[in-house]
Structure 1
């Protein structure tokens, strides 16, 4: 297996070397990105705007930029959390001539059906960010999601220290394979630490923040408020937890997150969130673009590993990127990398912390 960091560099470089051509207009409502020079067209379906702000604020513009740089015709749409809408979009994209289809599935069953139908029309498919169990994607592009969970578990432990503590787990959607991997990684770290007692664990359907708040409030009440740490699967769920804690007069309870969103980073700056996990949308978008371009050109794609499809009993060739743990001390790294801007992050009450940390 090639070292992941070296592969990431190669992926990013591959978009620049030898692929420049005329680009297309960005797709804001279903119109095609125009004018590519490659013989083929890429369709990307993003999942929603609720589970994470990254899909529209980061992934869409970065994918647009990568496809334009490569001179590839493309169309990008968002399913808005509706599996039937995603299926309809996929059908329309295939009808309109997409030759490579990348999806972030809303659940494995609907994702597998989309991929089966696309394949029957000769369209190549790629799983983006989430592996479709029982699907037929030719490639998978994501981060090492078990490692994401390990970083969350270790981050929570670092914040809690060696003293006894009750911890609760607020996991991601039960139909998202990534959520299972995050939880597995977190348990791999925390279950060995006998000073911690698990007092609650529940998945949040659809990653919905309102449901997360309800679920955590029930956990909090059932335990009489005796919770000293929360393993929340991403920043959106973490923020829901923080709101419930604040409503009950609790501040400074370690809470984890993921995505390094503006909201999550601000919660870290305010001392309300222990850590988050940064997954560079730029690296992931570039990796997807490079794979799609290779498929369009009939070339072998570079991968650095395989991912286990436990329902399909197969191993999917994969590009797996490295996640990074973010605490208050290295929030600046996310800004320096361009994932968020200082203008977005350092508003109002957060300006002083940004100044202290050299974020500008």
Structure 2
């Protein structure tokens, strides 16, 4: 069995956050971009905003996205009502939830689509009834009013760059396994495209598989298949779409006695702990508070008939529409070397969250504390 080197020292590939979270400065653009948004007037206006999130398997949606959005709406519009539903990764369930919100008379819908290609007719129906739709995190199709997310191609680029950095001098000509996200998620396609744009320049993708629904058990099975097909010395690193799947991939690798750099995404707590422990090379941090709060500001502004240009200064194109007013934030690569300067500095997680008893020694060795 080939013995792999411990992760090489990472190059400084992370992008410095141009803005901080609300707790440390910016509240999703509220301080220096909110003049045209919901905070500008009429806090007494009321209305109903629907919030549809795609799944609850990933930690972020219930723990971060939902409370950030609901709390910001409550701050901006105390008399507004928020109707919330989670689709559990089922597109038919989300369609029923969307239809129910129209029936119940919501004014604005924040939609994080399970499957973006299915939404065009939904959004057209909403528009016909005077209900405005804001696409959140994933670019829904149809005549949406605005879109808030991250530069998802750049997310993939960062994943590729940081994975190659983890290989150090062995990156040139390296063999890489790619376990991608769900083919129904438009973001996953952009992550994959961005990653390929970097990896293909110097390394070889020797096994690649998309994972329906971002399901970690399937990702683990795919990794086992890759090991069986390539052998334990047939690859040098593994690209994984997110941290949840990375956990299962790492379990499969460890069961086979293989240690290679593995990268993920979402800066999940368990992923950060694996980074500290040396099991995972990196994750991609997307400051969810600024994304969520900007979306809430846009929804309230639309409810009040206010201009959203300052909140959505960018532009995006979907298969059904072009020039969609957007806000696309910059992602950040997180390694063991910059956890303190990123997720901890922003208050996303505390040192105490990360450095539990199980990880105390590893945190001390890494200078985290």
The TM-score normalised by the length of structure 2 is 0.85
Q: For residues 238 and 7 of structure 1, what CA distance do their matches in structure 2 show?
A: 27
* Counterpart secondary structure, 2:120: helix
Aligned residues: 338
- Where do 5+ consecutive residues of structure 1 fail to align? 23-35
Q: CA offsets, 1:48-104, max 9 Å, x none?
A: 112x21001111111121111112332222111121221122222222231110111
Change (3 A) 1:160 1:75: same
Do residues 258 (structure 1) and 265 (structure 2) align?
Answer: yes
> 1:1-360 alignment to 2 at 5 Å?
5=18, 9=26, 11-13=29-31, 19=39, 37-50=44-57, 52-71=58-77, 72-132=80-140, 134-163=141-170, 164-193=173-202, 196-225=203-232, 226-251=234-259, 253-301=260-308, 302=310, 303-309=312-318, 311-312=319-320, 314-332=322-340, 333-357=342-366, 359-360=368-369
Displacement of 1:308 in angstroms is 2.1
User: In 2, are the aligned partners of 1:150 and 1:182 still within 8 Å (CA)?
Assistant: yes
Q: For residues 45 and 149 of structure 2, what CA distance do their matches in structure 1 show?
A: 25
* Counterpart secondary structure, 2:279: coil
Displacement of 1:112 in angstroms is 2.4
Q: For residues 19 and 251 of structure 2, what CA distance do their matches in structure 1 show?
A: 40
Q: For residues 41 and 260 of structure 1, what CA distance do their matches in structure 2 show?
A: 32
Q: For residues 270 and 281 of structure 1, what CA distance do their matches in structure 2 show?
A: 24
User: In 2, are the aligned partners of 1:166 and 1:228 still within 8 Å (CA)?
Assistant: yes
Q: CA offsets, 1:220-273, max 9 Å, x none?
A: 21101222101111111211210110110123x101111000011011011111
Change (3 A) 1:6 1:271: closer
Q: For residues 289 and 200 of structure 1, what CA distance do their matches in structure 2 show?
A: 40
Displacement of 1:358 in angstroms is 5.1
The TM-score normalised by the length of structure 1 is 0.87
Instruction: Give the root-mean-square deviation of aligned CA atoms.
Output: 2.4
Displacement of 1:359 in angstroms is 4.2
Displacement of 1:159 in angstroms is 0.4
* Counterpart secondary structure, 2:184: coil
* Counterpart secondary structure, 1:11: coil
> Who is 1:31 aligned against?
none
User: In 1, are the aligned partners of 2:163 and 2:281 still within 8 Å (CA)?
Assistant: yes
Q: CA offsets, 1:281-325, max 9 Å, x none?
A: 10101110111111011112122221121x215232210001011
- Where do 5+ consecutive residues of structure 2 fail to align? 1-16
